[in-house]
Chains A and B, each alone.
Chain A
Amino acid sequence: MINLIWVALFLVGMVYALFNGTVDEVNQAIFKSASEGVTLCIGLISVLIFWLGLMKVAEEAGLLSKLSRLFKPLMKRIFPEVPPSHPAMGYILSNTIANLFGLGNAATPMGIKAMEELKKLNGGKDSPSRSMITLLALNTSGMTLIPTTVIGIRMQYGSASPTDIVGPTLIATLCTTLSAILIDRYFYYRRKRKGKK
């Protein structure tokens, strides 16, 4: 699936450029985007080192397992296949909480750690388990309590009340997250009906 999409993005773009006369732009875009990818990763290095380091401290201090015990009832429903005391649960929670408070750069390292643990639970297979798709759905639905970047941009352009979108954003993000969980469930049961795991 991802292979198909990837190739299609390239091919459609190139064929379109041929007819549209934008071959020059495409040539530039190839190298600009490639270096953009590298820059993005280099920017990620500092936050990954800092937050993963700190999370290691939190894990050894027993904070992650405490956190997962607290939210166990809710998380057991969303992630029924993850044993509640497994370290994966702690990372999933840290990821969710970091997302909620808009700490995007802290959420990513914890999400990746959670994925690592979930992969171990799944026997190291290279296809995603049910819980991995659920975690991804939670992250792509962009749940945040305070959209800080958006507020910043609104302030920059002289909004009379830059934060008046916080309430509507919260409701919208709740709708998105809830439906992400429901859609994820639907696909899971569809896979099950088809007999695939």
Chain B
Amino acid sequence: MAAVTALSVWLVPMLIGTILVCAILKKVPAYESFVAGGKEGFSLAVSIMPFLVGMLTAIGVFRASGAMEAMVQALKPLLTIVGMPSEVVPLALLRPISGTGALGLMSDLVKEYGPDSFIGRLASVMQGSMDTTFYVITVYFGAVGIHKIGDALKVGLLADAVGIASSVLIVTLVFG
């Protein structure tokens, strides 16, 4: 395990080093290319802003009103039937919608039940094995000006459902 952790620490510096050495060998004007690429980065960040503000505000209103909580409560019986502990139901439902919100809930569960408890481990695996579908769609499609999302949301949310189910199943098998 230590090797894996060490690898991930060294990965970024190694990656940067490799790229720069290759650039020198190929006689690429490295600094000028970097600046040219970086300029694109700035305008990109600015162009995503309205998309994120719009989406986060809508989600913020939905959560603050208590509607999110009501939805969680309504779905709870259904999800406990399939074997999910009711404590992690809010996390499972929030994970695709809000990355920071899910991270907050996950640390809360880990603190409350202990990192080595069943709940703590399940929350950890759930947090680690999915991504924030809404955020990814907003940023990726927003940045390049895709206004019709097609089947993207359906695919993302269905995959999240599989992610939730497999997290519960695997954690139960390994630690249960």
A-to-B contact residues, CB < 8 Å:
1-2, 5-6, 9-10, 12-14, 16-17, 20, 22, 25-26, 28-30, 32-34, 36-38, 40-42, 44-45, 48-58, 60-63, 101-103, 106, 108-109, 111-112, 115-116, 119, 126-128, 132-133, 135-137, 139-142, 144-150, 153-154, 156-169, 171-173, 175-177, 179-180, 183-184, 187-188, 191
Q: How far is the CB of A36 from chain B (nearest CB, A)?
A: 6
A103-B12 in contact given A119-B146, A165-B124 (Cβ < 8 Å): yes
Q: Which of B51-86 contact A (CB under 8 A)?
A: 52-67, 70
Q: Which 5 pairs between the two chains have the least Cβ-Cβ distance? A: A56-B37, A33-B60, A147-B128, A142-B131, A159-B115
B-to-A contact residues, CB < 8 Å:
1, 4-5, 8, 11-12, 16, 18-20, 22-23, 25-26, 28, 30, 33-42, 44-46, 48-49, 52-67, 70, 96, 103, 106-107, 110-111, 114-116, 120-121, 124-133, 136-137, 139-141, 143-156, 158-160, 162-163, 166-167, 170-171, 174-175
Q: How far is the CB of A142 from chain B (nearest CB, A)?
A: 3
Which residue of B is nearest A126, CB measured? B147
Task: Give Cα distance in the complex from A190 to B163, angstroms.
Answer: 23
Q: List, in ascending order, chain B residues with CB within 8 A of A13's CB.
A: 58, 61-65, 67
A37-B49 in contact given A166-B1, A169-B124, A176-B129 (Cβ < 8 Å): yes
Secondary structure of the A side of the interface? helix
A145-B4 in contact given A136-B155, A176-B130 (Cβ < 8 Å): yes
Jot down 30 A-B pairs with beta carbons below 8 A, ordered by A: A10-B58, A13-B63, A13-B65, A22-B66, A48-B42, A55-B37, A56-B33, A58-B23, A111-B140, A112-B140, A115-B146, A126-B147, A128-B152, A132-B146, A140-B155, A141-B130, A147-B128, A150-B128, A157-B107, A159-B114, A159-B115, A159-B120, A168-B167, A168-B171, A169-B124, A173-B128, A175-B163, A180-B159, A183-B158, A188-B151
Which residue of A is nearest B138, CB measured? A2
Cβ contact within 8 Å between A17 and B65: yes
Q: How far is the CB of B157 from chain A (nearest CB, A)?
A: 8
Q: List, in ascending order, chain A residues with CB within 8 A of B137's CB.
A: 2, 136, 140
- The A/B interface has a contact count, at CB < 8 Å, of 354
A38-B53 in contact given A9-B59, A13-B64, A168-B125 (Cβ < 8 Å): yes
Cβ contact within 8 Å between B49 and A172: no
- 11 other contacts beyond A29-B57, A168-B167, A168-B175, with CB at 8 A cut-off? A10-B58, A17-B64, A20-B66, A44-B45, A52-B44, A116-B144, A128-B150, A149-B103, A153-B107, A157-B110, A159-B115
Most buried by B among A6, A128, A163: A128
